[in-house]
Amino acid sequence: MAEASNYEVTESVTEQTLESGVQHVNNPVLDLPQIVKKYLQKVIGYQQKENSYLFTDGSATVEVKVVSDEIIRIRLAPHSQFLDDFSYAVSNPDQHVAVYAFQEEEDCYTVSTNTVTCVIHKETFLIAFRDRDGKVINQDHSPMHWEENPDFGGYYVYCTKVAEDQEAFYGLGDKPTHLNLRGKRLTNWNSDTYSFAFDQDPLYRSIPFYIGLSSGEAYGIFFDNTFKTYFDFGAEVHDRTSFWSEGGELQYYYIHGPHMMDVVKRYHSITGTHYLPPLWALGYHQCRWSYYPESKVYELAKGFRSRQIPCDAIYLDIDYMDGYRCFTWNKHYFPDPKKMIKTLADDGFKTVVIIDPGIKVDDNYWVFKEGKENKYFCRRGDDYFMEGHVWPGRCQFPDFTNPEARKWWSGLFKGLVDAGVAGVWNDMNEPAVFGRGTFPNDVRHNYDGYRGSHRKAHNVYGMQMVRATYDGLKKLNHGKRPFTITRAAYAGTQRYSSVWTGDNVATWEHLRLGVLQLQRLSVSGMSFCGTDIGGFSGEPDGELFTRWIQFGVFSPFMRAHSAGDTREREPWSFGPEFEAINKKFIELRYKLLPYIYSVFWEQARYGFPILRPVTMLEQELESNIPREEEFSFGDKILVSPVVNPGQTSKRVYLPKGYWYDYWDQCFHLGGEEVEVATPLDRMPIFIKAGAVIPEFPVMQSVDLRLVNTLKLSVYYADSQVNSFIYEDHGDTFAYEQEIYLEKKMVLIGDKNSLTLNQSIDGLFTERYETYQLYFIGLPFNINRIRIDNKLVEWKSEDGIPVVEVSKDFKNLVVE
Ligand code: MIG
């Protein structure tokens, strides 16, 4: 590819003015270029191009594109020259649109689908979105505007919308703050933020997608712009929400609700979902900086198996490498990696290794040599290679936005995969550089042919790295699903990876923060997420660690991790009392795996978030109290992790409906708070009435051969409730060819009976033959149980009726 001469940025200007946000003041002392803010003027004409409508004020053009029945995209071209329509985030910009219509009215134009109408006001160029009943769901406060910067050669682009009086705002990725973002101004710029604090901003990820919720109705805005972006939710002016960027295009998607679940689902429909992870990735994982040498790793493995504490993966942090050179092994610590990994695998452990982006400058190191020869490393504006210090010392960094470099990177994993490595952990990919934080702005990036500076590529650098990592593993993995985890991300990264929240701290505040962050990540499209259980830096005591393990059971990703200068951090490190409780909860994770896996399937297939804040469960309630600690995992289990020391009881809010306490099976009416005992060996867990919850037997690592009967706990309800159970091989891609089972269980209860109907979809065959059904909460005494019209016997276990049933039953009646 030819070197671009119209390279858009040099390092200079305007950081100072930009930090101040919307209200720019030119600073004569700094002699900054003259910046003039321009607004769209009156609309004077329009044009149609298929499902796009172009409106102009004579100089600027706005495109309104119908993406789907519920999604409309808006783009602004200040001089009527649109930028290339390329996005790393959006994998599916053209969906099937059944019907859409265009109308000119006296004072406006309208572009309508079956569900949403976009209104463009002629006089003001203000844009609004209405629902089918004509109700305005979202509208501009000011016309879209921009600032031309002669020095920068681009624009800063702005959109300012009306914030309704009671409107609340959710989403935006990993922001470590309260769920409702009202009153906050936030920035997206991926940053390595060791030991971050409550309210610190920005952190590691940029997800410029938020959900507005007003009068019980939700909508989403996805501002697909990879430059440094800003969001102001009524912070500067109470009744305005603004978002703006230091470059690129003003391009955003309006995503219709009215339910928050639908907004998230539709956001996933354009940016993709996480593929179904291998089942082992949902087990318990043990990490530390670092486990080495080999003997230490074996000792760790033995520590789990000898105590019968389940664990599926052991992580190797940077010390496994030779001088921190990626794709090498320190042969002194790990003389025969293949043999070690095989030994661990035979014992049920997968090995996951870390890979950073920094490649050591060393002419005797093949990775550096190949990267250099092929010009895969990033260069500065003045054509010198970008160099920076990270763990290996002086390093250069692949330009992961170059498709050739990604392909090369994908291939580099061959050695690791051949050695048996099952998953890869990408760290430091904000990108992080010691001393100066990250790359300078003038670093040039290929950006898949749409060249740009680091300003444009910074926020996607980590995403493209883990994309290349994922592609490599997928190709090399012999048909097994890969597992990847990344620290930095941009919207859409869920297609390639899971994420963790980075370097948190071993404090109660951070445990609480984790509860907020994972809920937020989940509604922001990054459902496969977790925190460093126990806290990365600092020292947890046994109580904090145990409470964190409990939260971990209901974190989509469950991994304990700690910094190297801290005391040991295994489930047994805090003494026998804590060990027993940690074991019990890790076992609970394994029992719930078939439920957890089914929830992951719903996310992969339909785009539903895995964790759902209470606001999402009851968004229609006027009185919606901002509960932040309760959330549901899927739609059947509601939890409220204990996040305070010494807490022996907790008031838990249960959403409307009926719930069973998981521990004592007591029945509760929702819509109010209940007081639950929280001794150290309990956390509040509630099961929705009518749910059918599948359980595996406890196993030391995921192995479907050990499931010889599936336990199903059937929680009575006097209504109809559907549950889904998803099953497949657990680690292959055969599910893409329908080699899976999606079982629908319909429970219908009344005063004197309970009926359960099963229907099965898909081509997979389970290994087990029977279900073990447990009937919880029946309000009547059983006279008989019929399965497919045959009477069957039942027994009682601790007062709970249990019956064994063929896995193929269709109809079961208890009366
Ligand atoms: O500069 O690889 O967030 O999980 O253990 C620190 C060492 C680099 C930061 C990661 C952390 C990891 C650590 N890394």
pLDDT digits (tens, 9 = 90+) for 655-712: 999 999 999 999 999 999 999 999 999 999 999 999 999 999 999 999 999 999 999 9
The pLDDT of residue 246 is: 93
Residue 9 confidence (pLDDT) above 70: no
Structure tokens given for 138: 């979202």
Give pLDDT tens digits for 83-95: 999 999 998 777 7
The Cβ-side half-sphere exposure at 694, using a 13 Å CA radius, reads 23
Q: What is the DSSP string of 148-177?
A: EETTTTEEEEEEEEEPPTT-EEEESSS--S
Active site residue 430: yes
| CA neighbor of 429 nearest in space, from 388, 482, 382 | 388
Residue closest via CA to ligand 1's atom 13 equals 289
Tell me what the mean pLDDT of segment 67-74 comes to: 96
Task: Indicate which atom in ligand 1 lies nearest the CA of residue 564.
Answer: 5
Task: Indicate which atom in ligand 1 lies nearest the CA of residue 354.
Answer: 2
Structure tokens given for 194: 């060791």
Q: Report, in angstroms and rounded to the nearest whole number, the Rg of the chain calculated over CA atoms.
A: 27
> Measured between alpha carbons, how far apart are the two ends of the chain, in Å?
74
Angle at 503 between CA 499 and CA 507, to 5 degrees: 115
> Is the distance from CB of 8 to CB of 452 less than 8 angstroms?
yes
Give the number of residues written for the chain. Answer: 815
Tell me what the mean pLDDT of segment 585-599 comes to: 98
Query: How buried is residue 477: exposed, middle or buried, by Cβ count under 10 Å (0-12/13-18/19+)?
Result: buried
The pLDDT of residue 148 is: 84
Minimum mean pLDDT among 152-156, 576-580, 585-589: which range?
152-156
Output phi, psi for 581, to 5 deg. Answer: -70, -40
What's the 414 CA to ligand 1 centre distance in angstroms? 24
Residue closest via CA to ligand 1's atom 5 equals 289
The pLDDT of residue 24 is: 41
Distance, CA of 329 to CA of 321 (rounded, Å): 4
Q: Residue 797 in 3-state DSSP?
A: strand
What's the 191 CA to ligand 1 centre distance in angstroms? 13
State the pLDDT confidence band at 28, using cuts at 50, 70 and 90: very low
What's the 569 CA to ligand 1 centre distance in angstroms? 16
State the pLDDT confidence band at 23, using cuts at 50, 70 and 90: very low
Output phi, psi for 570, to 5 deg. Answer: -95, 165
Distance, CA of 111 to CA of 129 (rounded, Å): 10
| CA neighbor of 724 nearest in space, from 693, 755, 763 | 693
The pLDDT of residue 94 is: 75
Structure tokens given for 266: 């539709």
> Is the distance from CB of 411 to CB of 418 less than 8 angstroms?
no
Residue 30 confidence (pLDDT) above 60: no
Distance, CA of 713 to CA of 771 (rounded, Å): 10
Distance, CA of 643 to CA of 625 (rounded, Å): 19
Residue holding tokens 């126990």?
Answer: 534
The pLDDT of residue 88 is: 98
Angle at 322 between CA 321 and CA 325, to 5 degrees: 75
Distance, CA of 314 to CA of 288 (rounded, Å): 9
Tell me what the mean pLDDT of segment 573-582 comes to: 98
The pLDDT of residue 10 is: 30
Distance, CA of 155 to CA of 170 (rounded, Å): 27
Task: Indicate which atom in ligand 1 lies nearest the CA of residue 391.
Answer: 1
Task: Indicate which atom in ligand 1 lies nearest the CA of residue 427.
Answer: 10
Give pLDDT tens digits for 468-509: 999 999 999 989 999 999 999 999 999 999 999 999 999 999
Tell me what the mean pLDDT of segment 127-143 comes to: 97
Q: Residue 338 in 3-state DSSP?
A: helix
Q: For the chain, what percentages of helix, strand and coil (3-state, to nearest 5) are there?
A: 20, 35, 45
The pLDDT of residue 314 is: 98
What's the 193 CA to ligand 1 centre distance in angstroms? 11
Output phi, psi for 596, to 5 deg. Answer: -60, -45
Residue 556 confidence (pLDDT) above 90: yes
Residue 26 confidence (pLDDT) above 80: no
The pLDDT of residue 621 is: 76
Task: Indicate which atom in ligand 1 lies nearest the CA of residue 194.
Answer: 3
Residue 312 confidence (pLDDT) above 80: yes
Give pLDDT tens digits for 751-798: 999 999 999 999 999 999 999 999 999 999 999 999 999 999 999 999
Query: How buried is residue 691: exposed, middle or buried, by Cβ count under 10 Å (0-12/13-18/19+)?
Result: buried
Give pLDDT tens digits for 93-115: 777 777 899 999 999 999 999 99
Mutate to test the pocket of ligand 1, among 503, 504, 532 (most ligand atoms within 8 A of CB): 503
At position 421, the amino acid (one-letter code) is V
**pTM given for the model:** 0.95
Mutate to test the pocket of ligand 1, among 286, 354, 425, 427 (most ligand atoms within 8 A of CB): 427
Tell me what the mean pLDDT of segment 167-194 comes to: 97
Mutate to test the pocket of ligand 1, among 289, 352, 486, 561 (most ligand atoms within 8 A of CB): 289
Ordered by where they begin, the domains of the chain are 15-257 (2.60.40.1760), 611-686 (2.60.40.1180), 707-814 (2.60.40.1180)
* Dihedral of alpha carbons 469, 90, 18, 242, sign: negative
Task: Provide the b/e sequence for 77-109 (b: ≥16 CB within 10 Å).
Answer: bbeeeeeeeebbbbeebeeebeebeeeeeeebb
| CA neighbor of 604 nearest in space, from 764, 494, 727 | 494
Q: Where are the alpha helices (DSSP H) in 201-290?
A: 260-271
Distance, CA of 422 to CA of 371 (rounded, Å): 25
Helices 576-591 and 542-553 cross at an angle (nearest 10°) of 0
Residue closest via CA to ligand 1's atom 11 equals 503
Peptide bond into 290 cis (omega under 30): yes
Q: Cβ neighbours of residue 699 under 8 Å, at least 6 residues apart?
A: 310, 590, 706
* Residue 447: DSSP 8-state: G
The pLDDT of residue 666 is: 96
What's the 306 CA to ligand 1 centre distance in angstroms? 29
Structure tokens given for 782: 């059983």
Mean pLDDT, all residues of the chain: 94
H or E stretch at 75 = strand 71-77
Give the strand order in the sheet containing 359-360.
359-360, 393-396, 388-390
Structure tokens given for 679: 């001794």
Give pLDDT tens digits for 722-760: 999 999 999 999 999 999 999 999 999 999 999 999 999
Active site residue 427: yes
Residue closest via CA to ligand 1's atom 6 equals 428
What's the 433 CA to ligand 1 centre distance in angstroms? 12
Task: Indicate which atom in ligand 1 lies nearest the CA of residue 289.
Answer: 5
Give pLDDT tens digits for 267-277: 999 999 999 99
The pLDDT of residue 36 is: 79
* Residue 199: DSSP 8-state: T
The active-site residue out of 224, 232, 246, 427 is: 427
| CA neighbor of 774 nearest in space, from 685, 710, 686, 706 | 710
The pLDDT of residue 352 is: 98
> Is the distance from CB of 644 to CB of 508 less than 8 angstroms?
yes
State the pLDDT confidence band at 34, using cuts at 50, 70 and 90: low
| Secondary structure of 453-510 as H, E, C letters | EHHHHHHHHHHHHHHHHHHHHHHHCCCECCEEEECCEECCHHHCCEEECCCCECCHHH
What's the 188 CA to ligand 1 centre distance in angstroms? 21
The pLDDT of residue 625 is: 61
Mutate to test the pocket of ligand 1, among 194, 203, 317 (most ligand atoms within 8 A of CB): 317
- The separation between CA 599 and the C-alpha centre of its own chain, rounded to angstroms, equals 14
Active site residue 635: no
The active-site residue out of 217, 503, 630, 695 is: 503
The pLDDT of residue 7 is: 28
Tell me what the mean pLDDT of segment 527-531 comes to: 98
The pLDDT of residue 149 is: 74
* Dihedral of alpha carbons 616, 621, 627, 633, sign: negative
Task: Indicate which atom in ligand 1 lies nearest the CA of residue 563.
Answer: 5
The pLDDT of residue 13 is: 31
The pLDDT of residue 152 is: 65
What's the 559 CA to ligand 1 centre distance in angstroms? 14
Task: Indicate which atom in ligand 1 lies nearest the CA of residue 487.
Answer: 3
What's the 476 CA to ligand 1 centre distance in angstroms? 26
Q: Which residues line ligand 1 (CB under 6 A)?
A: 289, 317-318, 354, 427-428, 487, 502-503, 561
What's the 570 CA to ligand 1 centre distance in angstroms? 18
> Where is pLDDT greater, at 32 or 553?
553
